[in-house]
A and B are shown apart, each in its own frame.
Chain A
Amino acid sequence: MTPTCGSADVRTIDGAKVRKVVVACDAGMGSSVLVASQLSETLARYAVSVQHASINEIPDDADVVVCQEALVVRTRRAVPDRVVLGFRLFLGDPAFARLARAIRDGVLLAG
Protein backbone atom coordinates (compact mmCIF):
# COMPACT_ATOMS: atom_id res chain seq x y z
CA MET A 1 0.00 0.00 0.00
CA THR A 2 2.69 2.46 0.95
CA PRO A 3 3.98 3.78 -2.35
CA THR A 4 7.74 3.63 -2.15
CA CYS A 5 8.59 3.10 -5.80
CA GLY A 6 11.01 5.71 -7.12
CA SER A 7 11.46 7.58 -3.85
CA ALA A 8 14.83 6.62 -2.47
CA ASP A 9 14.51 8.90 0.52
CA VAL A 10 11.62 7.29 2.35
CA ARG A 11 10.98 8.79 5.79
CA THR A 12 10.21 6.68 8.80
CA ILE A 13 8.75 7.28 12.24
CA ASP A 14 8.13 5.04 15.23
CA GLY A 15 4.36 4.60 15.51
CA ALA A 16 4.53 5.10 19.28
CA LYS A 17 6.04 8.58 18.80
CA VAL A 18 3.24 9.84 16.58
CA ARG A 19 1.39 12.66 18.31
CA LYS A 20 -0.20 14.47 15.40
CA VAL A 21 -1.63 13.16 12.15
CA VAL A 22 -2.59 15.62 9.43
CA VAL A 23 -4.99 14.64 6.66
CA ALA A 24 -4.26 16.71 3.56
CA CYS A 25 -6.27 17.39 0.43
CA ASP A 26 -6.24 19.98 -2.34
CA ALA A 27 -8.40 22.60 -0.66
CA GLY A 28 -8.27 21.33 2.92
CA MET A 29 -12.00 21.89 3.19
CA GLY A 30 -13.89 18.83 1.99
CA SER A 31 -12.47 15.35 1.70
CA SER A 32 -9.71 15.91 4.26
CA VAL A 33 -12.29 16.96 6.85
CA LEU A 34 -14.20 13.77 6.15
CA VAL A 35 -11.18 11.52 6.64
CA ALA A 36 -9.87 13.50 9.62
CA SER A 37 -13.11 13.08 11.52
CA GLN A 38 -13.07 9.32 10.95
CA LEU A 39 -9.41 9.04 11.96
CA SER A 40 -9.71 11.21 15.05
CA GLU A 41 -12.35 8.85 16.40
CA THR A 42 -10.02 5.88 16.20
CA LEU A 43 -6.81 7.69 17.15
CA ALA A 44 -8.13 9.72 20.10
CA ARG A 45 -7.62 6.75 22.45
CA TYR A 46 -3.88 6.77 21.68
CA ALA A 47 -3.67 10.49 22.51
CA VAL A 48 -2.98 11.32 18.86
CA SER A 49 -4.57 14.48 17.53
CA VAL A 50 -5.84 14.58 13.97
CA GLN A 51 -6.12 17.74 11.86
CA HIS A 52 -7.04 18.49 8.29
CA ALA A 53 -5.22 20.91 6.01
CA SER A 54 -4.63 21.99 2.46
CA ILE A 55 -1.49 20.42 0.98
CA ASN A 56 -0.02 23.92 0.76
CA GLU A 57 -0.55 24.59 4.44
CA ILE A 58 0.39 21.44 6.30
CA PRO A 59 1.36 22.45 9.85
CA ASP A 60 5.01 22.05 10.83
CA ASP A 61 4.30 19.83 13.81
CA ALA A 62 2.65 17.06 11.78
CA ASP A 63 4.31 13.69 12.48
CA VAL A 64 2.46 11.79 9.77
CA VAL A 65 0.62 13.18 6.77
CA VAL A 66 -2.19 11.15 5.22
CA CYS A 67 -3.63 11.83 1.75
CA GLN A 68 -5.26 10.16 -1.23
CA GLU A 69 -2.84 8.18 -3.40
CA ALA A 70 -3.23 10.52 -6.36
CA LEU A 71 -1.94 13.39 -4.21
CA VAL A 72 0.98 11.57 -2.56
CA VAL A 73 3.70 12.88 -4.89
CA ARG A 74 2.52 16.45 -4.56
CA THR A 75 2.27 16.12 -0.78
CA ARG A 76 5.79 14.63 -0.53
CA ARG A 77 7.11 17.61 -2.40
CA ALA A 78 5.32 19.95 -0.01
CA VAL A 79 6.63 18.20 3.14
CA PRO A 80 9.77 16.31 2.07
CA ASP A 81 10.87 15.51 5.63
CA ARG A 82 7.59 13.98 6.81
CA VAL A 83 6.15 10.48 6.59
CA VAL A 84 3.41 10.60 3.94
CA LEU A 85 0.92 7.75 3.80
CA GLY A 86 -1.45 7.26 0.89
CA PHE A 87 -4.90 5.75 1.05
CA ARG A 88 -7.20 4.78 -1.73
CA LEU A 89 -10.82 4.94 -0.61
CA PHE A 90 -12.22 7.73 1.51
CA LEU A 91 -14.45 5.31 3.38
CA GLY A 92 -13.23 2.08 4.91
CA ASP A 93 -9.74 1.97 3.42
CA PRO A 94 -7.54 -0.65 5.12
CA ALA A 95 -4.77 1.95 5.35
CA PHE A 96 -6.62 3.69 8.18
CA ALA A 97 -6.78 0.55 10.32
CA ARG A 98 -3.12 -0.14 9.55
CA LEU A 99 -2.15 3.34 10.74
CA ALA A 100 -4.11 2.89 13.97
CA ARG A 101 -2.47 -0.48 14.58
CA ALA A 102 1.00 0.88 13.93
CA ILE A 103 0.42 3.69 16.41
CA ARG A 104 -0.97 1.27 19.02
CA ASP A 105 1.84 -1.26 18.66
CA GLY A 106 4.67 1.18 18.04
CA VAL A 107 5.47 -0.21 14.61
CA LEU A 108 7.80 1.70 12.30
CA LEU A 109 5.83 3.71 9.74
CA ALA A 110 7.49 4.45 6.41
CA GLY A 111 6.38 6.52 3.48
Chain B
Amino acid sequence: MTAPPDVADRTADSRIARIRVAAQRFGGSLAAMVMPNIGAFIAWGLLTALFAPNGWLPDPTLAALVKPAITYLLPVLIGASGGRLVHGHRGAVVGAVATIGLAVGTAVPVFFGAMIVGPLAAYLLRAFDRTLGSRVRPGFRMLVDNYSSGVLGGAMAVAGMVVVGPAVQAVTVWLGNGVQLLLDHHVLPLASAVIEPAKVLFLNNAVNHGVLGPIGAAQAAAHGKAIEFLMETNPGPGLGVLLACLVFGPRSMRPTVPGAIVIHFFGGIHEIYFPYVLARPRLLLAAIAGGAVGILTLVITDAGTIATPSPGSIIAVLAVTPKGGYLGVLAGVTVAAATSFAVGSALLGFGRAERNTDDTDLRECRRADD
Protein backbone atom coordinates (compact mmCIF):
# COMPACT_ATOMS: atom_id res chain seq x y z
CA MET B 1 0.00 0.00 0.00
CA THR B 2 2.37 2.72 -1.17
CA ALA B 3 -0.31 4.78 -2.88
CA PRO B 4 -1.87 7.64 -0.91
CA PRO B 5 -5.35 6.78 0.35
CA ASP B 6 -7.21 8.94 -2.16
CA VAL B 7 -5.34 7.43 -5.10
CA ALA B 8 -6.05 3.95 -3.76
CA ASP B 9 -9.71 4.90 -3.44
CA ARG B 10 -9.83 6.14 -7.01
CA THR B 11 -8.24 2.95 -8.32
CA ALA B 12 -10.75 0.89 -6.37
CA ASP B 13 -13.53 3.11 -7.72
CA SER B 14 -12.42 2.76 -11.30
CA ARG B 15 -12.06 -0.99 -10.83
CA ILE B 16 -15.67 -1.15 -9.66
CA ALA B 17 -16.68 1.03 -12.61
CA ARG B 18 -14.82 -1.30 -14.97
CA ILE B 19 -16.47 -4.38 -13.52
CA ARG B 20 -19.85 -2.72 -13.75
CA VAL B 21 -19.35 -1.69 -17.37
CA ALA B 22 -18.15 -5.21 -18.22
CA ALA B 23 -21.22 -6.70 -16.53
CA GLN B 24 -23.51 -4.25 -18.31
CA ARG B 25 -21.94 -5.01 -21.68
CA PHE B 26 -21.98 -8.79 -21.24
CA GLY B 27 -25.48 -8.77 -19.82
CA GLY B 28 -26.57 -6.33 -22.49
CA SER B 29 -25.53 -8.70 -25.25
CA LEU B 30 -27.33 -11.63 -23.59
CA ALA B 31 -30.49 -9.55 -23.35
CA ALA B 32 -30.01 -8.29 -26.91
CA MET B 33 -30.32 -11.88 -28.16
CA VAL B 34 -33.65 -12.36 -26.39
CA MET B 35 -35.42 -9.02 -26.34
CA PRO B 36 -35.92 -8.48 -30.09
CA ASN B 37 -37.78 -11.81 -30.08
CA ILE B 38 -40.16 -11.11 -27.21
CA GLY B 39 -43.08 -11.05 -29.64
CA ALA B 40 -42.46 -14.71 -30.45
CA PHE B 41 -42.27 -15.52 -26.74
CA ILE B 42 -45.60 -13.80 -26.21
CA ALA B 43 -47.14 -15.69 -29.14
CA TRP B 44 -45.89 -18.94 -27.61
CA GLY B 45 -47.18 -17.95 -24.17
CA LEU B 46 -50.61 -17.10 -25.55
CA LEU B 47 -50.82 -20.33 -27.54
CA THR B 48 -49.95 -22.24 -24.38
CA ALA B 49 -52.41 -20.32 -22.22
CA LEU B 50 -55.21 -20.89 -24.73
CA PHE B 51 -54.78 -24.35 -26.19
CA ALA B 52 -52.77 -26.42 -23.71
CA PRO B 53 -54.76 -29.16 -21.89
CA ASN B 54 -55.27 -26.93 -18.83
CA GLY B 55 -55.77 -23.72 -20.87
CA TRP B 56 -58.79 -21.57 -21.65
CA LEU B 57 -59.76 -23.31 -24.91
CA PRO B 58 -58.12 -26.76 -24.76
CA ASP B 59 -57.59 -28.05 -28.28
CA PRO B 60 -55.24 -30.98 -28.97
CA THR B 61 -54.76 -30.01 -32.63
CA LEU B 62 -53.72 -26.42 -31.96
CA ALA B 63 -51.80 -27.42 -28.82
CA ALA B 64 -49.41 -29.23 -31.17
CA LEU B 65 -47.92 -25.77 -31.86
CA VAL B 66 -46.69 -25.35 -28.31
CA LYS B 67 -43.83 -27.81 -28.09
CA PRO B 68 -42.12 -27.14 -31.45
CA ALA B 69 -42.37 -23.42 -30.77
CA ILE B 70 -40.43 -23.58 -27.51
CA THR B 71 -38.09 -26.38 -28.57
CA TYR B 72 -37.15 -25.06 -32.00
CA LEU B 73 -38.59 -21.65 -32.88
CA LEU B 74 -37.55 -19.68 -29.80
CA PRO B 75 -33.98 -21.04 -29.50
CA VAL B 76 -33.45 -20.58 -33.25
CA LEU B 77 -34.59 -16.96 -33.00
CA ILE B 78 -32.17 -16.41 -30.10
CA GLY B 79 -29.35 -18.03 -32.05
CA ALA B 80 -30.18 -15.92 -35.11
CA SER B 81 -30.22 -12.70 -33.06
CA GLY B 82 -26.92 -13.69 -31.46
CA GLY B 83 -25.44 -14.30 -34.89
CA ARG B 84 -26.76 -11.01 -36.16
CA LEU B 85 -25.06 -9.10 -33.33
CA VAL B 86 -21.71 -10.50 -34.48
CA HIS B 87 -22.02 -10.54 -38.26
CA GLY B 88 -25.22 -9.02 -39.59
CA HIS B 89 -27.67 -11.09 -41.60
CA ARG B 90 -25.09 -13.64 -42.69
CA GLY B 91 -24.28 -14.17 -39.05
CA ALA B 92 -27.98 -14.56 -38.25
CA VAL B 93 -28.32 -17.31 -40.86
CA VAL B 94 -25.43 -19.45 -39.60
CA GLY B 95 -26.47 -18.74 -36.02
CA ALA B 96 -29.93 -20.10 -36.77
CA VAL B 97 -28.60 -23.19 -38.52
CA ALA B 98 -26.14 -23.90 -35.73
CA THR B 99 -28.93 -23.58 -33.17
CA ILE B 100 -31.26 -26.02 -34.89
CA GLY B 101 -28.61 -28.72 -34.49
CA LEU B 102 -28.43 -27.95 -30.82
CA ALA B 103 -32.21 -27.91 -30.41
CA VAL B 104 -32.65 -31.27 -32.14
CA GLY B 105 -29.88 -32.83 -30.08
CA THR B 106 -31.40 -32.04 -26.69
CA ALA B 107 -34.63 -32.61 -24.79
CA VAL B 108 -34.75 -29.22 -23.03
CA PRO B 109 -35.17 -25.72 -24.51
CA VAL B 110 -31.61 -24.71 -25.38
CA PHE B 111 -31.77 -20.98 -24.76
CA PHE B 112 -28.36 -20.79 -23.08
CA GLY B 113 -26.86 -22.97 -25.78
CA ALA B 114 -28.31 -20.76 -28.50
CA MET B 115 -26.68 -17.76 -26.81
CA ILE B 116 -23.34 -19.51 -27.25
CA VAL B 117 -23.48 -21.30 -30.62
CA GLY B 118 -25.33 -18.51 -32.47
CA PRO B 119 -22.64 -15.87 -31.89
CA LEU B 120 -19.88 -18.50 -32.18
CA ALA B 121 -21.00 -19.65 -35.65
CA ALA B 122 -21.29 -16.02 -36.76
CA TYR B 123 -17.85 -15.27 -35.37
CA LEU B 124 -16.32 -18.13 -37.37
CA LEU B 125 -18.09 -16.97 -40.53
CA ARG B 126 -16.89 -13.43 -39.95
CA ALA B 127 -13.35 -14.72 -39.56
CA PHE B 128 -13.69 -16.56 -42.87
CA ASP B 129 -15.24 -13.57 -44.64
CA ARG B 130 -12.46 -11.28 -43.48
CA THR B 131 -9.63 -13.57 -44.53
CA LEU B 132 -10.24 -16.04 -47.35
CA GLY B 133 -13.65 -14.73 -48.36
CA SER B 134 -12.36 -11.25 -49.11
CA ARG B 135 -9.82 -12.55 -51.62
CA VAL B 136 -12.41 -14.07 -53.92
CA ARG B 137 -12.91 -12.48 -57.35
CA PRO B 138 -16.22 -10.62 -57.66
CA GLY B 139 -17.63 -13.11 -60.17
CA PHE B 140 -17.29 -15.92 -57.66
CA ARG B 141 -18.34 -13.93 -54.65
CA MET B 142 -21.93 -15.09 -54.52
CA LEU B 143 -20.93 -18.73 -54.92
CA VAL B 144 -18.38 -18.50 -52.11
CA ASP B 145 -20.65 -16.47 -49.83
CA ASN B 146 -23.52 -18.91 -50.13
CA TYR B 147 -21.44 -22.04 -49.78
CA SER B 148 -19.25 -20.75 -46.97
CA SER B 149 -22.27 -20.03 -44.80
CA GLY B 150 -23.99 -23.24 -45.92
CA VAL B 151 -21.02 -25.46 -45.13
CA LEU B 152 -20.16 -23.69 -41.89
CA GLY B 153 -23.79 -23.67 -40.74
CA GLY B 154 -24.17 -27.35 -41.50
CA ALA B 155 -20.95 -28.21 -39.71
CA MET B 156 -21.97 -26.16 -36.70
CA ALA B 157 -25.37 -27.88 -36.64
CA VAL B 158 -23.65 -31.27 -36.50
CA ALA B 159 -21.23 -30.06 -33.83
CA GLY B 160 -24.16 -28.60 -31.91
CA MET B 161 -26.12 -31.81 -32.05
CA VAL B 162 -23.27 -34.12 -31.14
CA VAL B 163 -21.00 -32.09 -28.87
CA VAL B 164 -22.57 -28.90 -27.57
CA GLY B 165 -26.13 -30.21 -27.17
CA PRO B 166 -25.43 -32.77 -24.45
CA ALA B 167 -23.27 -30.28 -22.56
CA VAL B 168 -25.94 -27.58 -22.75
CA GLN B 169 -28.62 -30.03 -21.67
CA ALA B 170 -26.54 -30.95 -18.65
CA VAL B 171 -26.01 -27.29 -17.70
CA THR B 172 -29.69 -26.39 -18.21
CA VAL B 173 -30.83 -29.33 -16.09
CA TRP B 174 -28.20 -28.46 -13.51
CA LEU B 175 -29.34 -24.83 -13.30
CA GLY B 176 -32.98 -25.91 -13.02
CA ASN B 177 -32.00 -28.34 -10.26
CA GLY B 178 -30.11 -25.53 -8.56
CA VAL B 179 -33.24 -23.39 -8.46
CA GLN B 180 -35.22 -26.42 -7.30
CA LEU B 181 -32.69 -26.96 -4.51
CA LEU B 182 -33.15 -23.34 -3.40
CA LEU B 183 -36.92 -23.88 -3.55
CA ASP B 184 -36.71 -27.11 -1.54
CA HIS B 185 -34.67 -25.42 1.17
CA HIS B 186 -36.97 -22.40 1.22
CA VAL B 187 -34.13 -20.00 0.43
CA LEU B 188 -35.25 -18.87 -3.02
CA PRO B 189 -36.28 -15.44 -1.60
CA LEU B 190 -32.59 -14.80 -0.86
CA ALA B 191 -32.13 -14.41 -4.61
CA SER B 192 -33.61 -10.92 -4.20
CA ALA B 193 -30.43 -9.87 -2.41
CA VAL B 194 -28.70 -10.29 -5.78
CA ILE B 195 -31.55 -9.45 -8.17
CA GLU B 196 -32.60 -6.09 -6.72
CA PRO B 197 -29.10 -4.51 -6.52
CA ALA B 198 -28.36 -5.80 -10.02
CA LYS B 199 -31.56 -4.20 -11.27
CA VAL B 200 -30.78 -0.70 -10.05
CA LEU B 201 -27.35 -0.96 -11.68
CA PHE B 202 -29.26 -1.36 -14.96
CA LEU B 203 -28.57 -5.07 -15.18
CA ASN B 204 -32.31 -5.76 -15.12
CA ASN B 205 -32.53 -7.07 -18.67
CA ALA B 206 -29.40 -9.13 -18.21
CA VAL B 207 -30.74 -10.78 -15.07
CA ASN B 208 -34.21 -11.37 -16.45
CA HIS B 209 -33.70 -12.22 -20.10
CA GLY B 210 -30.15 -13.50 -19.82
CA VAL B 211 -30.47 -15.75 -16.75
CA LEU B 212 -33.91 -16.19 -15.20
CA GLY B 213 -35.86 -16.37 -18.49
CA PRO B 214 -33.90 -19.31 -19.95
CA ILE B 215 -34.10 -21.24 -16.65
CA GLY B 216 -37.81 -20.46 -16.45
CA ALA B 217 -38.44 -21.56 -20.03
CA ALA B 218 -37.10 -25.03 -19.26
CA GLN B 219 -39.30 -25.18 -16.16
CA ALA B 220 -42.36 -23.89 -18.02
CA ALA B 221 -41.87 -26.43 -20.79
CA ALA B 222 -41.89 -29.19 -18.19
CA HIS B 223 -44.43 -27.91 -15.65
CA GLY B 224 -46.57 -25.38 -17.54
CA LYS B 225 -45.40 -22.41 -15.48
CA ALA B 226 -42.31 -21.05 -13.77
CA ILE B 227 -41.66 -18.82 -10.78
CA GLU B 228 -38.35 -17.69 -12.36
CA PHE B 229 -40.30 -15.51 -14.79
CA LEU B 230 -41.62 -13.42 -11.91
CA MET B 231 -38.49 -13.05 -9.80
CA GLU B 232 -37.22 -9.97 -11.60
CA THR B 233 -40.35 -8.82 -13.41
CA ASN B 234 -42.62 -8.53 -10.36
CA PRO B 235 -43.57 -4.83 -10.44
CA GLY B 236 -44.46 -4.94 -6.73
CA PRO B 237 -41.11 -4.04 -5.11
CA GLY B 238 -40.61 -1.03 -7.38
CA LEU B 239 -44.17 0.13 -6.82
CA GLY B 240 -43.66 0.06 -3.05
CA VAL B 241 -40.42 2.03 -3.32
CA LEU B 242 -42.09 4.67 -5.50
CA LEU B 243 -45.08 4.92 -3.15
CA ALA B 244 -42.71 5.42 -0.21
CA CYS B 245 -41.00 8.21 -2.18
CA LEU B 246 -44.36 9.74 -3.01
CA VAL B 247 -45.45 9.93 0.61
CA PHE B 248 -42.19 10.33 2.53
CA GLY B 249 -39.51 11.16 -0.05
CA PRO B 250 -37.72 14.49 -0.45
CA ARG B 251 -40.10 17.20 -1.63
CA SER B 252 -38.01 17.90 -4.72
CA MET B 253 -38.56 14.30 -5.74
CA ARG B 254 -42.28 14.00 -5.22
CA PRO B 255 -43.80 15.80 -8.24
CA THR B 256 -42.38 13.29 -10.72
CA VAL B 257 -43.33 10.19 -8.72
CA PRO B 258 -47.00 9.79 -9.76
CA GLY B 259 -46.03 9.71 -13.45
CA ALA B 260 -43.22 7.29 -12.62
CA ILE B 261 -45.67 5.00 -10.83
CA VAL B 262 -47.91 4.77 -13.88
CA ILE B 263 -44.99 4.17 -16.26
CA HIS B 264 -43.48 1.57 -13.92
CA PHE B 265 -46.54 -0.39 -12.84
CA PHE B 266 -48.64 -0.23 -15.99
CA GLY B 267 -46.02 0.55 -18.63
CA GLY B 268 -43.58 -1.96 -17.18
CA ILE B 269 -40.50 0.26 -17.54
CA HIS B 270 -38.80 -0.56 -14.23
CA GLU B 271 -35.79 1.64 -15.07
CA ILE B 272 -37.83 4.64 -14.03
CA TYR B 273 -37.56 3.81 -10.33
CA PHE B 274 -33.83 2.98 -10.31
CA PRO B 275 -32.71 6.63 -10.02
CA TYR B 276 -34.86 7.12 -6.92
CA VAL B 277 -33.09 4.17 -5.31
CA LEU B 278 -29.68 5.41 -6.46
CA ALA B 279 -30.47 8.81 -4.96
CA ARG B 280 -31.37 7.17 -1.61
CA PRO B 281 -29.30 3.96 -1.62
CA ARG B 282 -30.85 2.72 1.60
CA LEU B 283 -34.07 2.23 -0.37
CA LEU B 284 -32.31 -0.74 -1.88
CA LEU B 285 -33.09 -2.57 1.35
CA ALA B 286 -36.77 -1.84 0.76
CA ALA B 287 -36.58 -3.25 -2.77
CA ILE B 288 -34.74 -6.37 -1.52
CA ALA B 289 -37.27 -6.89 1.29
CA GLY B 290 -40.17 -6.44 -1.14
CA GLY B 291 -38.62 -8.77 -3.69
CA ALA B 292 -37.83 -11.45 -1.11
CA VAL B 293 -41.25 -11.39 0.53
CA GLY B 294 -42.83 -11.35 -2.93
CA ILE B 295 -40.90 -14.48 -3.94
CA LEU B 296 -41.81 -16.11 -0.62
CA THR B 297 -45.48 -15.40 -1.33
CA LEU B 298 -45.17 -16.84 -4.83
CA VAL B 299 -43.49 -19.96 -3.43
CA ILE B 300 -46.16 -20.44 -0.75
CA THR B 301 -49.02 -20.00 -3.24
CA ASP B 302 -47.20 -22.15 -5.82
CA ALA B 303 -47.52 -19.31 -8.36
CA GLY B 304 -45.75 -18.84 -11.65
CA THR B 305 -46.32 -17.56 -15.17
CA ILE B 306 -46.31 -19.29 -18.55
CA ALA B 307 -43.77 -16.94 -20.13
CA THR B 308 -41.64 -13.92 -19.23
CA PRO B 309 -43.84 -10.90 -18.69
CA SER B 310 -42.09 -8.32 -20.83
CA PRO B 311 -42.12 -5.50 -20.10
CA GLY B 312 -42.66 -6.05 -16.38
CA SER B 313 -46.07 -4.38 -16.31
CA ILE B 314 -48.96 -5.67 -14.25
CA ILE B 315 -50.86 -6.02 -17.53
CA ALA B 316 -48.14 -8.22 -19.06
CA VAL B 317 -47.88 -10.21 -15.83
CA LEU B 318 -51.59 -11.01 -15.82
CA ALA B 319 -51.54 -11.78 -19.54
CA VAL B 320 -49.10 -14.67 -19.00
CA THR B 321 -50.65 -15.91 -15.76
CA PRO B 322 -52.07 -19.41 -16.24
CA LYS B 323 -55.75 -20.06 -15.78
CA GLY B 324 -56.51 -20.39 -12.08
CA GLY B 325 -53.17 -18.86 -11.06
CA TYR B 326 -54.26 -15.25 -10.56
CA LEU B 327 -54.61 -15.30 -6.79
CA GLY B 328 -51.01 -16.37 -6.16
CA VAL B 329 -49.54 -13.98 -8.72
CA LEU B 330 -51.58 -11.00 -7.52
CA ALA B 331 -50.70 -11.87 -3.91
CA GLY B 332 -47.01 -11.95 -4.86
CA VAL B 333 -47.25 -8.48 -6.43
CA THR B 334 -49.38 -6.94 -3.67
CA VAL B 335 -47.41 -8.32 -0.75
CA ALA B 336 -44.13 -7.27 -2.39
CA ALA B 337 -45.43 -3.72 -2.90
CA ALA B 338 -46.75 -3.49 0.66
CA THR B 339 -43.47 -4.77 2.09
CA SER B 340 -41.21 -2.45 0.12
CA PHE B 341 -43.53 0.46 0.89
CA ALA B 342 -43.42 -0.26 4.62
CA VAL B 343 -39.65 -0.80 4.73
CA GLY B 344 -39.04 2.15 2.41
CA SER B 345 -41.21 4.46 4.51
CA ALA B 346 -39.35 3.43 7.65
CA LEU B 347 -35.98 3.98 5.93
CA LEU B 348 -37.11 7.45 4.89
CA GLY B 349 -37.94 8.09 8.56
CA PHE B 350 -41.62 8.54 7.64
CA GLY B 351 -40.71 11.90 6.17
CA ARG B 352 -38.74 13.16 9.17
CA ALA B 353 -35.27 12.40 7.86
CA GLU B 354 -35.69 14.32 4.64
CA ARG B 355 -36.41 17.65 6.32
CA ASN B 356 -32.70 18.15 7.02
CA THR B 357 -31.36 16.94 3.72
CA ASP B 358 -34.17 18.06 1.43
CA ASP B 359 -33.12 19.00 -2.08
CA THR B 360 -29.39 19.14 -1.52
CA ASP B 361 -28.35 15.67 -2.46
CA LEU B 362 -30.72 15.40 -5.40
CA ARG B 363 -29.20 18.50 -6.93
CA GLU B 364 -25.62 17.73 -6.04
CA CYS B 365 -25.83 14.69 -8.23
CA ARG B 366 -23.20 12.13 -7.34
CA ARG B 367 -21.15 10.92 -10.24
CA ALA B 368 -22.42 7.44 -10.67
CA ASP B 369 -20.00 6.52 -13.39
CA ASP B 370 -16.55 7.17 -12.06
A residues lining the B interface (CB < 8 Å):
1, 3, 5-7, 25-27, 29-31, 34, 54-56, 68-74, 77, 86, 88-92
Are the CB atoms of B369 and A72 closer together than 8 Å? yes
Contact in complex: A6, B201 (CB < 8 Å): no
Q: Would you give the 0/1 interface string for B26-49, flagging 1 where the beta carbon is closer than 8 Å to chain A?
A: 011101100100000000000000
Whether the pair A73, B370 counts as a contact (CB closer than 8 A) is yes
B24 touches A71 (CB 8 A): yes
Contact in complex: B367, A68 (CB < 8 Å): no
How many angstroms between the C-alpha atoms of A55 and B271 in the bound complex? 15
The reply to whether B85 and A26 contact each other, CB–CB distance below 8 Å, is no
325-370 of chain B: CB within 8 A of chain A: 365, 367-370
CB-contact partner of B256 in A69, A70, A89, under 8 A: A89
A-B contact sample (5 more), CB < 8 A, given A6-B14, A26-B206: A7-B370, A71-B24, A73-B17, A73-B21, A90-B272
Q: A104 vs B35: C-alpha distance in the bound complex, in angstroms?
A: 36
**Distance between Cα atoms of A27 and B280 in the complex (Å):** 25
Also in contact, A90 and B31, with CB within 8 A (given A3-B367, A73-B17): no
Contact B369 A73 (CB under 8 A): yes
Nearest CB to that of B273 among chain A residues? Answer: A90
Is B24 within 8 A of A74, CB to CB? yes
User: Are B32 and A34 in contact (CB-based, < 8 A)?
Assistant: no
Task: Give B14's nearest chain A residue, CB to CB.
Answer: A6
Interface of B: prevailing SS: helix
Q: Which of B17, B275, B365 is in CB contact (< 8 Å) with A1? A: B365
Contacts of B260 in A (CB 8 A): 90-91
Q: B35 to A68, Cβ gap below 8 A?
A: no
**Alpha-carbon separation in the docked complex, A2 to B279 (Å):** 16
**Interfacial residues of chain B within 144-183, with CB under 8 A of chain A in the complex:** none
A101, chain B: closest CB distance, angstroms: 17
28 A-B residue pairs with CB within 8 Å: A3-B368, A5-B367, A6-B14, A25-B271, A26-B27, A26-B205, A34-B267, A34-B272, A54-B32, A56-B29, A56-B85, A69-B275, A69-B367, A70-B202, A70-B369, A71-B24, A72-B368, A73-B21, A73-B370, A74-B21, A74-B28, A77-B21, A77-B25, A89-B256, A89-B275, A90-B271, A91-B263, A92-B256
B269 near A31 with CB under 8 A, answer yes
Find chain B residues with CB under 8 A from A5 CB: 367, 370
Enumerate chain A residues within 8 angstroms of B32, measured Cβ to Cβ: 27, 54, 56
Please tell me if the beta carbons of B369 and A86 are within 8 angstroms of each other in the complex. Answer: yes
The answer to whether B368 and A70 have CB atoms under 8 Å apart is yes
As a 0/1 sequence over residues 280 to 317 of chain B, the CB contacts with chain A under 8 angstroms (1 = contact) are 00000000000000000000000000000001000000
Q: Note all chain A residues with C-beta closer than 8 A to B95.
A: none
Min Cβ gap A65→B in Å is: 14
Q: Answer yes or no: B72 CB below 8 A from chain A CBs.
A: no
Specify the chain B residue showing the minimal Cβ separation from A78.
B25
Which listed residue, A6, A31, A56, touches B271 by the CB 8 Å rule? A31
With A and B bound together, what is the CA distance between A88 and B202 in angstroms? 13
CB distance from B120 to the nearest CB of A (A): 18
Measured in the bound complex, the distance between the Cα atoms of B35 and A26 in whole Å is 11
**Which chain A residues lie closer than 8 Å to B265 at the CB level?**
none
Closest CB-CB distance, B343 to chain A, in whole Å?
A: 22
Q: How far is the CA of A27 from the CA of B10 in the complex (A)?
A: 30
Whole-angstrom CA separation of A76 from B103 in the bound complex: 37
Residue among B24, B200, B368 making CB contact with A26, cutoff 8 Å: B24
A18 to chain B, nearest CB (A): 22
- Point out the residues of chain A lying under 8 angstroms from B27, CB to CB: 26
- Cβ contact within 8 Å between A30 and B275: no
Also in contact, A26 and B369, with CB within 8 A (given A31-B269, A73-B17, A90-B271): no
Contact of A70 among B28, B85, B201, B276 (CB under 8 A): B201
Answer whether residue B259 sits at the interface, using C-beta atoms and an 8 A cutoff. Answer: yes
Bound-complex Cα distance A68 to B31 (A): 18
Q: Which residues of A contact B365 (CB under 8 A)?
A: 1, 69, 88
Residues of chain A with a CB closer than 8 A to B229's CB: none
User: CA A5 – CA B274 in complex, angstroms?
Assistant: 22
Query: B191 at the A/B interface (Cβ < 8 Å)?
Result: no
A90 to B21, CA, bound (A): 20
Contacts of B139 in A (CB 8 A): none
CA distance A90 to B35 in the complex (A): 21
CA distance A74 to B17 in the complex (A): 9
Most A CB within 10 A of own CB, among B267, B269, B271, B272? B271
Residue of B with least CB distance to A31: B271
